[in-house]
Amino acid sequence: VMLFILLLLFSSALTHSLRLLFTGFLGEEKWMEFVGVAVVNGFEVIYCSKNSMTAETRQDWVKEVIQYHPTYWFTNECRENQSLLSLNIEALMKSFNHTKGVHTFQRMSGCEWDDETGEVNGFNQFGYDGEDFITFDLKTDTWIPTKPQAVIFKQKWDNNREALYRERNNLITICPEMLKNFLNYGRTLLVKPVLPSFYLLQKTPSSSVTCHATGFNPNKVNMVWRKDGAEIHEGVNRGEIIPNNDWTFQMSVDLEISSVRPEDWERYACVFQFSDVNQDIVTKLDKAVIWTNKERVQSSWVFFRSGLSKCYYKCCTSI
Last residue of a domain, one of 149, 172, 189: 189
Beta strands in 148-258 (DSSP E): 197-201, 209-216, 221-227, 230-231, 236-238, 242-243, 249-255
What pLDDT does 14 receive? Answer: 72
81, 116: one domain = yes
What pLDDT does 194 receive? Answer: 77
What pLDDT does 187 receive? Answer: 66
In this prediction, the residues of the chain whose per-residue pLDDT falls under 50 are: 1-13, 294-319
205, 183: one domain = no
182, 213: one domain = no
- Going by C-alpha positions, the residue among 31, 26, 67 that lies closest to residue 46 is 67
202, 271: one domain = yes
Backbone region of residue 215 per phi and psi (left: phi > 0; alpha: psi in -120 to 50; beta: other values): left
What pLDDT does 143 receive? Answer: 97
206, 132: one domain = no
What pLDDT does 153 receive? Answer: 92
What pLDDT does 188 receive? Answer: 60
| SS3 of residue 6 by DSSP | helix
What pLDDT does 191 receive? Answer: 59
Q: Provide the whole-model pTM.
A: 0.63
- Going by C-alpha positions, the residue among 171, 189, 191, 190 that lies closest to residue 73 is 171
54, 177: one domain = yes
What pLDDT does 69 receive? Answer: 65
- How would you classify the pairing of strands 197-201 and 209-216? antiparallel
28, 173: one domain = yes
What pLDDT does 71 receive? Answer: 67
Q: Where are the alpha helices (DSSP H) in the chain?
A: 2-11, 60-68, 72-95, 151-158, 161-169, 175-185, 187-190, 294-305
30, 124: one domain = yes
142 lies in a domain?
yes
240, 99: one domain = no
CA dist., res. 3 & res. 318, Å (int): 37
SS (H, E, C) 95-134: HCCCCCCCEEEEEEEEEEEECCCCCEEEEEEEEECCEEEE
What pLDDT does 42 receive? Answer: 80
- Any idea how long the chain is? 319
166, 268: one domain = no
Q: Where are the alpha helices (DSSP H) in 186-281?
A: 187-190
Last residue of a domain, one of 127, 161, 189: 189
CA dist., res. 200 & res. 309, Å (int): 23
Q: 283 is in which domain, residue-wise?
A: 197-318
170, 255: one domain = no
Sign of the Cα pseudo-torsion (206, 211, 214, 220, in order): negative
CA dist., res. 299 & res. 199, Å (int): 12
CA dist., res. 35 & res. 49, Å (int): 4
- The number of beta carbons lying within 10 Å of the beta carbon of residue 157 is 16
Phi, psi of 278 (to 5 degrees): -90, 65
CATH number at residue 37: 3.30.500.10
CA dist., res. 111 & res. 174, Å (int): 10
Phi, psi of 308 (to 5 degrees): -95, 150
2 lies in a domain?
no
Number of domains in the chain: 2
133, 234: one domain = no
